[in-house]
Structure 1
Amino acid sequence: MDLRVLGGAPADPFLSAADLFETEFHIDYPVFVRVHDDPDSRTWAAHYTDRHVLNISRKAATSAMAREFALHELSHMALNEAGHASHYQSTREAVFLALAGRAVERRKLAHCYQIANHCKDIYADDLTLSVAPAEKLVQFLESQLATAVADRPRATERPGTQLVSNGSDPEITVVNAAFALALVERHDLISSDHRLYDLAHAAADDAPDISLPTFKEHFRTLATDPSESEYRRTLVDVVKNYVVGSNMAAD
């Protein structure tokens, strides 16, 4: 694999990820790792006609999870080159089909795109977990969910009211918890008494209009190699369930 690290970050985690990834998979196009100084910059892969770019913050690139982040993004690149339906279906199209004729809050619309990304991430992690140990990923999922649950808005002392805060959104936190459980169950990574289950149920208690089991099954049962139309239907269903299903429950 032709991989080059730009931006002065240590190259070792990325080269190690590339060597490990190539034991099972191959990426034809060159990969450029672009390190950003913004500590809040998310890690993502961009795909072009002649190269891939792995974008990552300097904080993430120098963290203990750097190799795992790189493996995940290399998996996205491999799926892109393979023409996997999850990496070619337009998220905007699926969201439009799911929500046509409905007025949707900007907050929930942003969540719909995050949910669609979870579907893509399931497929990427299918590859990642076939070449790398799962322990650090499970710890990362647990840590992220614990932080979100601890940061959730708290109810006030008056019944029927809620404290407004800048904390994590309880509804998308439930979906994120469902994603974490779906991934670990899909690969049989944890036991039924793992703390991740307690955290997920705590998240679900804060947003009863969002069904943790429903979204877990959506993610866990994603077909390995769906056709374009099958994947589009799946994406439409999961987005519609989040917006329409929660509205129906609220009504």
Structure 2
Amino acid sequence: MQSPGPTEPFLGARDLFETEHDLDLPVEVTIREDPDSRTWTAHYDDRHVLNISRQAASSAMARPLALHEYSHMRRYEQSHPSHIQSTGEAITLALAGHTVERRTLTQCYQIANHMKDIYADDITLSVAPADRLVAFLESSLASALADRPVDPPTWKRLTPAADPNITAVNAAFALALLERHDCIPDDHRLYDLAHAAADDAAGVDLPAFKRRFRTLAADPDTSEYRRTLVEATREYAIRTGYAAD
């Protein structure tokens, strides 16, 4: 630990992770005071650094989050294309000749992160039950739908509404990940939430994105992974009408 904070979630996640996998490099945990800090890992030649907010580190999700980040570390050490290939280069290739808004570009990076997460969670779900992940994805999607844009807009809104199109892609990701590992029954509430998300986003083919995420090859080579990311980026930014020539 690089800063004071709870240690049990990280040690518990490590012990569970090591029942099936190993890391070659040591892991440092940095706890940040900003409650809005996202959980993420930085990779260096001699170590990995897991960054997490104190609020998240003290929550019931701390251990699952740590386990997820350890899985990202493992993918990086494996030199998996999803974790070492330049996302920026692939997105630039996908959008060559088109103009997109900064918001849309950010959302394209989010799609790439979903692909990374699927490969990380292929490891996570091989060593841990999916219960908390399912609950987290359900809660996140329900919250995004509750924050859908108001028509007409109201001045009372204090934060930007969730974008319906990326919410639909997020729903596709959640279903794809859980279906990929047979984690939910056919009548799970996530399907109703995803249907509502699809209704709000006429420009997004939710089943197509779900299929893209669910069928990601387990061990793609560099060119195959780049092609998959390029196609997903174009599907979102160009075919939904977000990009202009």
TM-score (norm. length: structure 1): 0.93
Give ranges in structure 2 of 5+ residues lacking alignment. Answer: none
Counterpart contact for 1:142–1:196, Cα < 8 Å: yes
Counterpart contact for 1:40–1:57, Cα < 8 Å: yes
Q: 2-side partners of 1:137 and 1:60: how far apart? A: 15
Give ranges in structure 1 of 5+ residues lacking alignment. Answer: 157-161
Aligned twin of 1:159? none
Question: Is 1:221 the counterpart of 2:221 in the alignment?
Answer: no
Counterpart contact for 2:112–2:229, Cα < 8 Å: yes
CA drift at 1:239? 0.5
Question: Is 1:138 the counterpart of 2:107 in the alignment?
Answer: no
Alignment of 1:114-193 (within 5 A): 114-156=110-152, 166-193=160-187
Aligned twin of 2:105? 109
CA drift at 1:249? 11
Aligned twin of 1:62? 58
The one-character-per-residue Cα deviations of 1:80-103 (angstroms, maximum 9, x if unpaired) are 011111111110001001000101
Question: Is 1:35 the counterpart of 2:34 in the alignment?
Answer: no
CA drift at 1:169? 1.1
The one-character-per-residue Cα deviations of 1:39-87 (angstroms, maximum 9, x if unpaired) are 1111111100000000111111111010000000000001101111111
Runs of 4+ in structure 1 over 4 Å off = 162-165
CA RMSD of aligned residues (A): 1.6
Question: Is 1:9 the counterpart of 2:11 in the alignment?
Answer: no
Q: 1-side partners of 2:58 and 2:242: how far apart? A: 45
CA drift at 1:155? 2.6
Aligned twin of 1:18? 14
Q: Which of the numbers 235, 238, 244 marks the counterpart of 1:241?
A: 235
Question: Is 1:195 the counterpart of 2:189 in the alignment?
Answer: yes
The answer to which structure, 1 or 2, has the higher relative contact order (CA under 8 A, 6+ apart) is 2
For the structure 1 residues 155 and 249, does the alpha-carbon distance in structure 2 shift closer, same or farther, using more than 3 Å as the test?
farther
SS at match of 1:198: helix
Counterpart contact for 1:35–1:55, Cα < 8 Å: yes
Q: 2-side partners of 1:237 and 1:104: how far apart? A: 16
Q: Which of the numbers 46, 54, 63 marks the counterpart of 2:42?
A: 46
Aligned twin of 1:73? 69
Counterpart of 1:65, as a letter, is M
TM-score (norm. length: structure 2): 0.95
Q: 1-side partners of 2:67 and 2:18: how far apart? A: 10
What count of residue pairs does the alignment treat as equivalent? 241
SS at match of 1:45: strand
SS at match of 1:246: coil
Counterpart of 2:109, as a letter, is Y
Aligned twin of 1:99? 95
Counterpart contact for 1:85–1:226, Cα < 8 Å: yes
Counterpart contact for 1:209–1:249, Cα < 8 Å: no
Counterpart contact for 1:178–1:215, Cα < 8 Å: yes
Q: 2-side partners of 1:6 and 1:152: how far apart? A: 39
The one-character-per-residue Cα deviations of 1:117-171 (angstroms, maximum 9, x if unpaired) are 0000000000000000110110000000010000111233xxxxx6686111111
SS at match of 1:6: coil
For the structure 1 residues 180 and 142, does the alpha-carbon distance in structure 2 shift closer, same or farther, using more than 3 Å as the test?
same
Q: 2-side partners of 1:132 and 1:144: how far apart? A: 20
Counterpart of 2:8, as a letter, is D
